[in-house]
Structure 1
């Protein structure tokens, strides 16, 4: 089959969206399918804070679809996934269309975000099939007859590396430097704790977080920027705990939680729709934006006897996820429609 993925972020960007489409495309290619990816990089847009506002409607509504058997749009991404949904269905009504529901939208303008999510709840009904990555997202989709649950995967064998015990208690953050990731909460939570925080990732707010660490007089925080997978694997193997302190529903599946679990890290994550289903069986969940709860979880997992129990559960749970299975199930879904 010839498959087109339309997604706001793709490699070389380092993000969950980009990682998911990269790994899914790899597995589909292994199965003999031809896969192309269109991202916001090739569509002119303005950036307003965390939001990309696409205005290249000429390109969106003239994208060549004739070469493809299936189109798979990923969202929600305002002005991107919504416009492509309209474009595909108005220009190629009979073209099989899949919509992968990664996450909700919450850009701190609560009434507007809620309205947008409600509208998208209807709009994704234009797709022939809707894929959700965790059971919690079933609650946000109205068209139950069209919905399929296909979780993302993890390269377990790659990340299941030999552990290298670091000095002291080492905590890891991996993610983009964006407000919804909650790094400011994490920096405040570790104040006065006997640990080292390793921060991996980049983004427009990196310097703001570095300045916050200085204002808090944190001498136990190291910023590394983006790292390739080999370097990232080294940090997973040396750190004791990965924490995902995200504060809004913009957080999706949380791929890094499975990577860390496969490497033998305990995991702390916030209780959000995507994360709770993935991390709940093996990690510690805390309420979003709750500095004290996050701090208590970090103190709890500083005890090696407690941490080892979570690590053991994480290793077992991570084995249940594989990119090969994700690719196989997507290929089956596409075949249903072609």
Structure 2
């Protein structure tokens, strides 16, 4: 079975949560006999055809971008070519250009779409996009929501409940690098003692401005791994607040990230808007047996982090509540360790890559065998 994944960005250009999910899917389903390929856009010159961890990555040059949506003239012919040889096309939503490709290429192959997130911020453009989105989601064979929380809270998904099912994200710890003892020692020497960790792209919805206010006047160290459009503003805020306990480490290699996940006291994830649909770095924290702190925003974050079981869940955009949650875990190491163990057990029970891969292969087979589209 050949599956074509189509999304706007992918490794090695970018390392966001959706890219990680596609990677885990490609590697996990390959173990079950699936030939996975990924088509994506790139801004970089050089080799456009790659092989990563056993799956092919086809890249086409991005022509231009409008409202964070990449477009590519070359993608039209390349997508049609790759789609013709695929048994099923796996779209990753949202990306309006993808909807247009589905329309312009007249796709009649079996199709599924993983619905990673609603469009939250761009209200006007979202209204303009609605007719195309409705046509696209109505035309695909099946839609996958990534958590029961998101399915129940998304007004868009509610419209397509009869063709939507939940397959949650999963991670395979074995494909993460194992940090060397020397690397572990380097980070232990640099940050001796306990610290909270945030990992992610520094975007507007991540709530990091709330986190900075929450740790002002405390001595709890916080390490922030990642870069992004909010980085400069966040560093200015940290300087204004005189935060010598907050450390911006920038984007780090995967081995360093794993080292810090292994060493941290807990994972803090203050995303305060629905643009945060799941939180892969939360799930990575659970995988490494870390207690978590997150906000209740009606999405998958509260499916990963169960309040008072795997960590603490606070109201969004609530500085005192976030500070209290961090202090609570900081002052109660036994509770923090217990929550971390519960988090890891929940990961092993629900969120493994093997489970995700098996569920998607079942869905692929179901959609292909039940597809009745006319050529």
Scaled by the length of structure 2, the TM-score of the pair is 0.80
The 8 Å contact of residues 242 and 265 in structure 1, kept in 2 or not, is answered as yes
Identify which of 288, 305, 308 aligns with 2:334.
Answer: 305
Q: Within the alignment, does 1:275 sit opposite 2:301 as a pair? A: yes
Give the conservation status (yes or no) of the 8 Å contact 2:289–2:342.
no
CA distance in 1, matches of 2:289, 2:315: 24
Is 1:131 the counterpart of 2:144? The answer is yes
Of 54, 67, 76, the residue aligned with 2:70 is 54
1:154 corresponds to: 171
Structure 1 distance, partners of 2:130, 2:327, is: 36
Output the CA distance in 1 between the equivalents of 2:320 and 2:97: 37
Alignment partner of 1:317 is 2:318:
no
Structure 1: stretches of 5+ with no match in the other structure: none
Identify the residue that residue 70 of structure 1 maps to in structure 2.
88
Q: Does 1:292 align with 2:292?
A: no
Alpha-carbon distance in 2 for matches of 1:118, 1:260: 39
Unpaired runs of at least 5, structure 2: 43-59, 369-375
Shift of 1:183: 1.4
- Alpha-carbon separation, structure 1, partners of 2:296 and 2:99: 27
Q: 1:158 to 1:23 in 2, by over 3 A?
A: closer
Report the counterpart of residue 48 of structure 2 in structure 1. Answer: none
Measured against aligned partners, the alpha-carbon deviations of 1:2-23 in whole angstroms (never above 9, x if no partner) come to 1110112211211101100011
SS of 2:239's equivalent in the other structure is helix
CA displacement at 1:181 relative to structure 2: 1.3
1:292 is displaced (CA, Å) by 1.9
1:169-184 superposed matches below 5 A: 169-184=194-209
Change in CA separation of 1:40 and 1:310 when aligned onto 2, cut-off 3 Å: same
Q: Please give the alpha-carbon distance, in whole angstroms, between the structure 2 residues aligned to 1:274 and 1:322.
A: 15
1:100 aligns with 2:114: yes
What is the DSSP-based 3-state SS (H/G/I as helix, E as strand, rest coil) of the residue aligned with 1:289?
coil
- Deviation of 1:220 after TM superposition, in Å, equals 1.0
Q: CA deviation at 1:122?
A: 6.2
What's the offset of the Cα at 1:323? 0.5
- Size of the aligned set, in residue pairs, is 331
Q: Tell me, what secondary structure is at the counterpart of 1:35?
A: strand
- Alignment correspondent of 2:2: 2
- CA positional deviation for 1:110: 4.3
2:358 corresponds to 1:332: no
How far 1:99 sits from its partner (Å)? 0.6
Q: TM-score, normalised by structure 1?
A: 0.88
Correspondence 1:126-275 to 2 at 5 A: 126-139=139-152, 140=154, 141=157, 142-156=159-173, 167-272=192-297, 273-275=299-301
User: Does the 8 A contact of 1:103 with 1:274 survive in 2?
Assistant: no
* Partners of 1:188 and 1:296 in 2: CA distance: 12
